[in-house]
Amino acid sequence: MLQITNLHASVEGTEILRGVDLSVNAGEVHAIMGPNGSGKSTLALVIAGHPSFTVTQGSVTFEGVDLLELLPEERARMGVFMAFQYPVEIRGITNAYFLRAAVNTLRKARGLEEYDTIDFLDVLEEKLKVIGWSESFLSRPVNEGFSGGEKKRNEILQMAVLEPKLAVLDETDSGLDIDAVRLVAEAVNSLRSPERATVIVTHYQRILNYLTPDYVHVLYDGRIVKSGGKELALELEEKGYDWLREEVVAG
Amino acid sequence: MTSIETHVRKPYEYGWSTDIESDLAPVGLNEDIIRLISAKKSEPEWLLEWRLKAYRHWLTMTEPRWPNVKYDPVDYQAIHYYAAPKQEKQLDSLDEVDPKLLATFAKLGIPISEQKRLSGVAVDAIFDSVSVATTFKATLKEAGVIFLPFSEAVQEHPDLVRKWLGSVVPYTDNFFATLNSAVFTDGSFVFVPKGVRCPMELSTYFRINAMSTGQFERTLIIAEEGAYVSYLEGCSAPARDENQLHAAVVELIALDDAQIKYSTVQNWYPGDEDGKGGIYNFVTKRGLCRGRNSKISWTQVETGSAITWKYPGCILQGDNAVGEFYSVALTNNYQQADTGTKMIHIGKNTRSTIVSKGISAGHGQNTYRGLVKIMKGAENARNYSQCDSMLIGDQCGAHTFPYIDVRNSTATMEHEASTTKVGEDQIFYCQQRGLSAEDAVSMIVNGFCREVFKELPMEFAVEAQNLLGISLEGSVG
């Protein structure tokens, strides 16, 4: 589904990704871990197409299509979703309005009928259950006045509504208390299916207790230096990242 | 930020002109021109005298230089002060109006044919210096409401006009208002008698067509005790390389328990993307809440004009009077706006609310300038002001000059201000959810303006949203 080959990317002339290789198939959950500054968020933003980053080498394809040639909205319409580490606020636009505008743009792009207000409320009601929210969140402006945890949950609500094929979660678990982490994990689990894939970028192992990844990768200094199963995450939790430095230097 | 810095404006949608023969006054300004205008309108002697007094006073005045805008000096002798489409005198019905004029307004989406009865809004359509048609006159007459072109009101209700003209904006008021008092041509006159709630929205549409002309309209609205009226104005002009002057005066008077709601969607030609051409919009608008419990609300959406200079204000004279000002001002390309309000609290328990939203894109410069003045006798006066600025790109500017003058210690004043930048991150966030960059900007800007749009009558709110979208089109690449 997602094929990343020798990806190099830089921001303002500084190279952050230095040759990332990653292959994600439908139905899989991948966790990408690594210390601060290793390039985890950059990788997520490059997949989504953030204009601040320049890809200098390598390729990213999604279902055989060259993603790097597409605008961010075109990627989204293909089914690529990113949950942001720092979701923005949009004043004066309600959550419900924003969600409907987004879902209808995607439906239109896929040749599906757009939801009218009433149908959409039914859809939303179902999705709100996923994150345990009341309808009152729908009439609040997008992320305005939301706590950090509420903003993260709102990202998950958007993911649930937009039903992406590939979801990239950028540190969705950081800054959340343990109950919220479990809730986010459950939401991700409930969306798991053989047609979909999830890439979770995280600093901590704890969210992986609730959603079992098929693969764990360690991103270090702009490269994936180690890949393994879920046990790799536990090893990292126990030993930290320093031992990897030695391995990389020795390597 | 390169994607936000690319500014290519979509061509102004109303920039075409109507090929129609004009009856033009000779270029320039002197007492003879004023006599000519007055004679064209068959005005009574007192009105001519009033105009001449204004003109003589104007000669002693200098153009204000304090606004935060830059432009080349206006040559007041290079303007035609009167322009009218040539037509046979005295029209008895709309059928006799030149089809070219009807077509012009149809193209602008203004329903002046009553058969259409679109949205039940009574319209006065003004083309250059004259009113072309006023719809629903009969329906309004039944309700006792007078809604007439100003020049007809002078003929039919001279006493009312004489009583109120200049009572809120005297002919000595300021450079542009004084010029208007000398040379004003047409505009709308509204009178809602005691206890009457005007049965429909009243609307005036102003269209500048002729070249090298100025438009100087005069609008006067009087709501007697307990009356209510909602009035809308819209405007547009052809795209021309020259700068054209528009210097209007609007006076509102609300007596005891009366309420006037005045909404503007201003879309004069803003000039091209290099700042060439465009309308100079130098306007004086003021409402007098003369009676107890009276209320005047100004709502404006200013997207056009090369330069905007206007401060619709309220004089809160009656006890418990309420003044409101809701504004969205957008400047794109090289547009400049210096706009805001004046709230003068005189009566006891008077209240005012100011909500101003300034949006700057391209090389636009947007200034909020507002005065809140609490006079000595204004016990328990209250004001709430909110001034928000939004910047799109990094070549534009937002400026705020709030003046507060409080002379009574029982007053309560609140002032909030914010400046936000529509950043790449906000746009990217929306794009990641599938929206195009342009839809994203449009959504962000509309959200920003929501508090003002909800004050507009329904049809206008939709028009205003679309207009903002169009005016910003191309402001992100």
Burial B98-107 (b: 16+ CB within 10 A, else e): beebbebbee
Please count the residue pairs, one from chain A and one from chain B, whose beta carbons lie less than 8 angstroms apart: 78
Distance from CA of A218 to the nearest CA of B (A): 26
Instruction: Read off the pLDDT band of B209 (50, 70, 90).
Output: low
- Give the pLDDT mean for B76-87: 80
Residues 6+ apart with CB under 8 A from A147: none
Letter for the amino acid at B54?
Answer: A
B contacts of A90 (beta carbons < 8 Å) = 426, 429-430, 443-444, 447
What backbone phi and psi angles, to 5 degrees, belong to B300? -135, 140
- Give the pLDDT mean for B41-48: 95
Shortest CA distance from B435: residue in chain A: A73
Contact B7, B475 (CB under 8 A): yes
- Counting residues of chain A whose pLDDT is more than 70, the rounded percentage is 99
Predicted confidence at residue B178, as pLDDT, reads 97
Q: Identify which has the larger pLDDT, B215 or B220.
A: B220
- Give the whole-angstrom CA distance, residue B50 versus residue B256: 29
Burial A54-81 (b: 16+ CB within 10 A, else e): ebeebebebeeeebbebebbbbbbbbbb
A101–chain B Cβ distance below 8 A for any pair: yes
Instruction: Read off the pLDDT band of A250 (50, 70, 90).
Output: low
- Give the pLDDT mean for B338-363: 95
- Give the pLDDT mean for B1-7: 34
Tokens of A154: 């709102």
What 8-state DSSP symbol labels residue B215?
A: B
Q: Is B408 left (phi over 0), alpha (psi -120 to 50) or beta?
A: beta
B425–chain A Cβ distance below 8 A for any pair: yes
A contacts of B439 (beta carbons < 8 Å) = 101, 105
> Closest by alpha carbon to B125, among B159, B155, B100?
B100
Shortest CA distance from B2: residue in chain A: A51
SS3 B317: coil
What backbone phi and psi angles, to 5 degrees, belong to B21? -70, 135
Contact A55, A20 (CB under 8 A): no
Domains of chain A by start residue, with CATH: 2-250 (3.40.50.300)
Predicted confidence at residue B16, as pLDDT, reads 66
Distance from CA of B354 to the nearest CA of A (A): 18
Q: Characterize the bridge pairing of strands A197-202 and A29-33.
A: parallel
- Give the whole-angstrom CA distance, residue B224 versus residue B407: 30
- Give the pLDDT mean for B31-40: 93
> What is the tens place of the pLDDT at every residue in B359-376?
998 899 999 999 999 999
Q: Distance from CA of residue B128 to its chain's centroid?
A: 16
pLDDT at B118 over 60: no
Distance from CA of A195 to the nearest CA of B (A): 20
> What is the tens place of the pLDDT at every residue in A155-175?
999 999 999 999 999 998 888
- Give the whole-angstrom CA distance, residue A56 versus residue A8: 5
Q: What residues form DSSP beta bridges with A169?
A: A83, A200
A115–chain B Cβ distance below 8 A for any pair: no
Helices (H), B269-348: none
pLDDT at A114 over 60: yes
Q: How many residues does chain A have?
A: 251
A128–chain B Cβ distance below 8 A for any pair: no
Tokens of A6: 């020798």
Q: What is the secondary structure of chain A as a DSSP string?
A: -EEEEEEEEEETTEEEEEEEEEEE-TT-EEEEE--TTSSHHHHHHHHHT-TTEEEEEEEEEETTEEGGGS-HHHHHHHTEEEE-SSPPPEEEEEHHHHHHHHHHHHHHHTTPPPP-HHHHHHHHHHHHHHHT--GGGGGSEETTT--HHHHHHHHHHHHHHH--SEEEEESTTTT--HHHHHHHHHHHHHT--TT-EEEEEES-SGGGGTS--SEEEEEETTEEEEEE-HHHHHHHHHH-SHHHHHHHHH-
Distances (CA, A) of B267 to B233, B305, B330, B383: 10, 7, 10, 30
A81–chain B Cβ distance below 8 A for any pair: yes
- Give the pLDDT mean for B155-183: 96
Residue in A93, A139, A159, A170 to test binding to B, most B beta-carbons within 10 Å:
A93
Max Cα-Cα span within chain A = 61
Shortest CA distance from A53: residue in chain B: B1
Mean of per-residue pLDDT scores for chain B: 85
Distances (CA, A) of B119 to A220, B122, B203, B380: 64, 9, 11, 41
Using CB atoms, pick whichever of B423, B425, B431 lies closest to residue A76. Answer: B431
Predicted confidence at residue A31, as pLDDT, reads 94
The whole-model pTM stands at: 0.83
- Give the whole-angstrom CA distance, residue A240 versus residue A232: 11
B436–chain A Cβ distance below 8 A for any pair: yes
pLDDT at B388 over 70: yes
Using CB atoms, pick whichever of A52, A73, A92 lies closest to residue B448. Answer: A92
- Counting residues of chain B whose pLDDT is more than 70, the rounded percentage is 80
pLDDT at B99 over 80: no
pLDDT at B10 over 70: no
What 8-state DSSP symbol labels residue B188?
A: E
- Give the pLDDT mean for B37-54: 95
B443–chain A Cβ distance below 8 A for any pair: yes
> What is the tens place of the pLDDT at every residue in B422-461?
878 899 999 999 999 888 988 898 889 988 888 887 767 7
B424–chain A Cβ distance below 8 A for any pair: yes
Instruction: Read off the pLDDT band of B87 (50, 70, 90).
Output: low
- Give the whole-angstrom CA distance, residue A52 versus residue B457: 42
Contact B352, B343 (CB under 8 A): yes
- Give the pLDDT mean for B210-221: 82
A contacts of B444 (beta carbons < 8 Å) = 90-91, 93
Interface contact B434-A109, CB threshold 8 A: yes
Shortest CA distance from A109: residue in chain B: B434
**CB-based burial label for A214 (10 Å; 0-12, 13-18, 19+):** middle
Shortest CA distance from B431: residue in chain A: A73
Q: Identify which has the larger pLDDT, B291 or B122.
A: B291
A87–chain B Cβ distance below 8 A for any pair: yes
> What is the tens place of the pLDDT at every residue in B228-265?
999 988 766 666 667 788 899 999 999 999 999 999 88
Contact B351, B325 (CB under 8 A): no
Max Cα-Cα span within chain B = 68
Interface contact A92-B451, CB threshold 8 A: yes
Instruction: Read off the pLDDT band of B355 (50, 70, 90).
Output: very high
Contact B137, B94 (CB under 8 A): no
Radius of gyration of chain B (CA): 22
pLDDT at B114 over 60: no
- Give the pLDDT mean for B344-368: 94
SS3 B458: helix
Predicted confidence at residue B3, as pLDDT, reads 37
Predicted confidence at residue B182, as pLDDT, reads 96
Instruction: Read off the pLDDT band of B7 (50, 70, 90).
Output: very low
What 8-state DSSP symbol labels residue B409?
A: T
Interface contact A92-B425, CB threshold 8 A: no
A contacts of B424 (beta carbons < 8 Å) = 51-52
